[in-house]
Amino acid sequence: MAASVRTRIAPAPSGSIHVGNARTALYNWLFARGQGGVFVLRVEDTDQSRVSEESYQAVLEDMRWLGLAWDEGPEAGGEFGPYRQSLRSDRYDAAALSLVDAGHAYRCYCTPAELAERRKAARGSQAAPGYDGRCRDLTERQRRDFDAEGRSWSLRFRVPEGRTITFDDVIRGTIATPSSQIPDFVIKRSDGSPTYMLAAGIDDALMAITHIIRGEDLIAATPRQLLLREAMAIEDVPVFAHLPLLVQPDGKPLSKRWGDVSLGAYRKGGFLPEAMVNYLALLGWSYDDRTNIFTVDELIDRFSLERVARNPAAFDVAKLEWVNGHYIRSRSPAALAADLEPVCVEAGLPAGTVEGRRILTAVAPLLAERMKRLTEAPPMLRFLFGRAAPDDKAAAVLTGQGAYLTAVAERLDAIEKWTAPAIEESLRGLAAERGLKPKHAFQPIRAAVTGTLVSPPLFESLEILGRTETIERLREAPTA
């Protein structure tokens, strides 16, 4: 059983992957890995109006970033390729032709305007919603007349009457749909391109997918695709598991109006891939009520579809930040410095040099406890890469502090060994002599040296900055 498991993720490349699709990809990947099966990446790029090479590459990069290596798919190959639907039109054409020849599909000549008008009229009557079957039983002469007019046509699947289509869902139990609730649906558009129903349904069969794990918004597609399989005499029926949708913390649907919904936005927003994988795994699945942190190996070992909930899962950025903070704190200084380098370079800091990497490695342990996102680092680190004018709060603290900062500079210049403990001892001694509380003693120093009141721990920061630069900044700080 385990060796025969085949799952897939089939994103449409219209940009960075939606976080909901990322969660779906993760669940498919975890299930395949846990069962010793095969994980397939198939790109559904038949809608050329939405697809570009850039968006296609973005999908691959998102998957790589998450660490979800695919066994079959673009660049990996496989016996069921190609794995881009735009390269599989011959399969869809052959399937559509066979359905027409067997009487399971027919040409529909209805124009978009006619369909819209009839739908509008149906809303005010007792008619069933959806296509009204106008072209279902056209005579040969009627078809010739439409062809003579030059009307374009689409292909519709002829839904059998008086049937109930039933399937078992691992998460939701048995789902039964009367065929009377399924209008004849389009399988090929008037431009000849296949619809999702046909392309995904045929590809799942041709690629021998055993488990279809996807969002609950596609439950309605399942009876349609089962009818397609039946009409094409495809006997194997996959196992279905329809995942709960992701929603906002207030329960409303996750949408761009709420905030970031693409994986790329969170990548740029300073989140680590391990944190994203860990958090996505918890959106609809749980192992127990106490554990929130899982390694990838633990997720593979413990994940099961039976533990996936039916209820919508709330995407809470605050919880994601908590998980991200855990992984930031668990990083080694070298690893965290490597994570920070591209973020700092993107922010305009020269962090990609030998000296820049030295600074990042030295300061990484100081930042780990202060960050929930990597993007919080550049503002706190900017002072280590060059001088900047004090911000408004720092400028206010510096006012009238010229004599004190001169005394600080003289005290620090007298330190024999420039280390954080020696710097701390010297500055605390000066504060005690002058009867200053830590806030009043150290804030002016921080403002003069960093240009802000928010930075890594002061004494360690001064050690990294160095004796010469620290003293020069103290003496040259604008205090008037």
136 and 197 fall within a common domain: yes
* R_g over Cα of the chain: 31
CB atoms within 10 A of CB 319: 15
449 and 421 fall within a common domain: yes
227 and 102 fall within a common domain: yes
For residue 339, what are its two tokens?
Answer: 């994570």
CA dist 143 and 421 (Å) reads 90
Question: Once rounded to an integer, what is the mean pLDDT over residues 411-429?
Answer: 97
99 and 237 fall within a common domain: yes
Give a yes or no: residue 305 inside a domain.
Answer: yes
Give a yes or no: residue 280 inside a domain.
Answer: yes
101 and 236 fall within a common domain: yes
- Residue 401 belongs to what domain range? 392-476
Three-state DSSP state, 6: strand
The per-residue pLDDT of the chain, averaged, comes to: 94
196 and 320 fall within a common domain: no
Specify whether the CB–CB gap between 254 and 19 falls below 8 A. Answer: yes
103 and 198 fall within a common domain: yes
Give a yes or no: residue 303 inside a domain.
Answer: yes
135 and 215 fall within a common domain: yes
99 and 204 fall within a common domain: yes
Last residue of a domain, one of 318, 350, 384: 384
179 and 293 fall within a common domain: no
Catalytic residues: 256
CATH number at residue 283: 1.10.1160.10
Give a yes or no: residue 423 inside a domain.
Answer: yes
CATH number at residue 436: 1.10.10.350
Q: How far from 301 is each of 292, 296, 327, 414, 456, CA to CA, in Å?
A: 15, 9, 20, 59, 39
362 and 410 fall within a common domain: no
Question: Once rounded to an integer, what is the mean pLDDT over residues 140-165?
Answer: 97
192 and 164 fall within a common domain: yes
Q: Note the pLDDT tens digit of each residue in 235-260.
A: 999 999 999 999 999 888 887 655 67
Q: What pLDDT sits at residue 2?
A: 39
CA dist 334 and 360 (Å) reads 8
Answer yes or no: is pLDDT of 472 > 60. Answer: yes
Q: What pLDDT sits at residue 257?
A: 56
Q: Note the pLDDT tens digit of each residue in 427-436.
A: 999 999 999 9
Give a yes or no: residue 28 inside a domain.
Answer: no
Q: What pLDDT sits at residue 207?
A: 97
Q: What total number of domains does the chain contain?
A: 3
Specify whether the CB–CB gap between 157 and 104 falls below 8 A. Answer: yes
Q: Note the pLDDT tens digit of each residue in 345-397.
A: 999 999 999 999 999 999 999 999 999 999 999 999 999 999 989 999 999 99
Closest CA to 283 of 254, 252, 314, 248: 314
CA dist 81 and 74 (Å) reads 9
CATH number at residue 138: 3.40.50.620
Give a yes or no: residue 194 inside a domain.
Answer: yes
Q: What pLDDT sits at residue 260?
A: 79
Last residue of a domain, one of 331, 353, 384: 384
Per residue in 145-158, is it b (16+ CB within 10 Å) or e — as a string?
Answer: ebeeeeeebbbbbb
Query: 314 burial class (0-12, 13-18, 19+ CB within 10 angstroms)?
Result: middle
Answer yes or no: is pLDDT of 76 > 80. Answer: yes
Give a yes or no: residue 255 inside a domain.
Answer: no
Specify whether the CB–CB gap between 455 and 470 falls below 8 A. Answer: no
